[in-house]
């Protein structure tokens, strides 16, 4: 029986702490949020890493020093670590995959691939030396449209995309052969997109170990999304002989009853296919950056019932 990981992306936590946010556990005791996560059964923590981020508390921070410090906190509660390499100085998603400013001189795919390899190798080496080797590494974040534009945009085909992914993949394996590499797309309910992307990546000899998915439904769509995501997970496993993980999941914080239903069903589905687990995206968030899909009650500062559902 494979281990099921109850995960949480806590990348904003240091920024929230820097603004004197406090957190309570389910009993109402004020304590370190990491301790609360452990009490809730979280056994894996996802952390995003930006190359040269700004100091902005909402769209910056998450540099290597800060990520290693957070990884040490995650290890201290016994959690496995998922490193989410955006390969950008700020948010990377299907609508934006901006090349890091320091890499802008890499105008050929060969040079950019070398940069990706060297950067990934150095980050992995530094994490290993700090005693926090990741269990998983994402080679890019929600790369439906490719990564590190313009060279890695899928509009140019999959040859460059595969080159960049393999550069990161090979660097990870050179430092830690047991670390699993994830290729992560948004919209885990959309089988058409996943088939298109991974068929293209496979044809271009791209490498990956696990397929990552994001899932952010609403009260009216969660049952459909869960059903479609289950079918997609099964298809990815059979079509590519690869396991799957819900690398990001989220739901409106102010509807915890429905959120719990969504997550409980998703957990059943993930466990049914032997998937790696579910990572809730930023459950600690309350009254933060206009983000409304955390799992903390702003009035009590306690985790909502959603956190006990998966």
Q: What is the pLDDT of residues 13-47, one digit of tens each?
A: 999 999 999 999 999 999 999 999 999 999 999 99
pLDDT in tens, 47-97: 999 999 999 999 999 999 999 999 999 999 999 999 999 999 999 999 999
User: Do 106 and 152 contact (CB within 8 A), yes or no?
Assistant: no
Question: Based on the structure, what is the number of domains in the chain?
Answer: 1
Calpha distance 170→165 (Å, rounded)? 9
Give the residue carrying structure tokens 């293209």.
200
Q: What is the DSSP letter of 147?
A: S
Residue 126 — pLDDT band, cuts 50, 70, 90?
Answer: very high
The CATH number given to whatever domain includes residue 89 is 3.20.20.80
Nearest CA to 74 out of 24, 18, 27, 136 is that of 136
Query: Which whole number is the average pLDDT over 189-211?
Result: 98
Q: Which secondary-structure segment (H or E) carries 35?
A: helix 33-39
Report the mean per-residue pLDDT for the chain: 98
Known catalytic residues are: 142, 248
Owning domain of residue 57? 5-308
Task: For residue range 247-269, list pLDDT tens digits in order.
Answer: 999 999 999 999 999 999 999 99
**Which string of b and e fits 80-90 if b means at least 16 CB within 10 Å?**
bbbbbbbbbbb
Distance CA 182, CA 276 (A): 11
- Which pLDDT belongs to residue 1? 63
In 150-306, DSSP assigns E strands to 180-185, 210-215, 243-249, 277-281
pLDDT at 10: 98
- CA pair distance 113, 279, nearest whole angstrom: 29
| pTM for the model | 0.98
Q: Where are the alpha helices (DSSP H) in 48-104?
A: 64-76
Distances (CA, A) of 69 to 8, 30, 32, 74, 225: 16, 22, 15, 9, 35
* Confidence at 2, pLDDT banded by 50, 70, 90: confident
For 176-199, the pLDDT digits (tens) are 999 999 999 999 999 999 999 999
For 81, the enclosing helix (H) or strand (E) is strand 80-85
Is the Cβ–Cβ distance between 279 and 247 less than 8 Å? yes
List residues bridging with 39 in a β-sheet: none
- Per the document, the length of the chain is 310
Cα separations in angstroms, 194 against 45, 221, 228, 229, 259: 25, 19, 12, 11, 25
**What residues form DSSP beta bridges with 207?**
none
Residue that has been written with the tokens 């085909």 in this structure? 157
């Amino acid at each position: 029986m494979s281990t099921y990981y109850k995960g949480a992306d806590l990348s904003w936590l240091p920024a929230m702490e820097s603004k004197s946010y406090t957190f309570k556990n389910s009993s109402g005791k004020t304590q370190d949020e990491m301790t609360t996560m452990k009490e809730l059964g979280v056994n894996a923590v996802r952390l995003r890493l930006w190359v040269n981020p700004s100091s902005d508390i909402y769209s910056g921070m998450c540099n290597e020093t800060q990520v290693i410090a957070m990884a040490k906190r995650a290890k201290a509660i016994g959690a496995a670590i998922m490193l989410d390499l955006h390969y950008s100085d700020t948010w990377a998603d299907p609508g934006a995959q901006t090349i890091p400013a320091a890499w802008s001189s890499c105008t050929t795919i060969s040079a950019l691939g070398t940069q990706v390899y060297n950067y990934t190798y150095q980050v992995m080496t530094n994490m290993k030396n700090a005693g926090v080797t990741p269990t998983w590494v994402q080679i890019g974040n929600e790369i439906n449209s490719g990564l590190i534009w313009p060279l890695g945009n899928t509009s140019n085909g999959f040859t460059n995309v595969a080159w960049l992914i393999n550069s990161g993949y090979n660097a990870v394996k050179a430092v830690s052969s047991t670390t699993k590499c994830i290729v992560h797309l948004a919209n885990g309910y959309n089988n058409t997109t996943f088939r298109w992307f991974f068929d293209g990546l496979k044809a271009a000899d791209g490498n990956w170990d696990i397929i990552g998915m994001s899932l952010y439904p609403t009260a009216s769509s969660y049952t459909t999304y869960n059903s479609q995501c289950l079918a997609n997970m099964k298809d990815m496993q059979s079509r590519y002989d690869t396991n799957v993980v819900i690398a990001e999941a989220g739901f409106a914080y102010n509807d915890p009853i429905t959120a719990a239903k969504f997550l409980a069903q998703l957990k059943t589905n993930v466990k049914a296919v032997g998937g790696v687990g579910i990572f809730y995206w930023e459950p600690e968030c309350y009254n933060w950056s206009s983000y409304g899909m955390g799992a903390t009650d702003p009035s009590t500062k306690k985790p909502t019932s959603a956190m006990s559902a998966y």
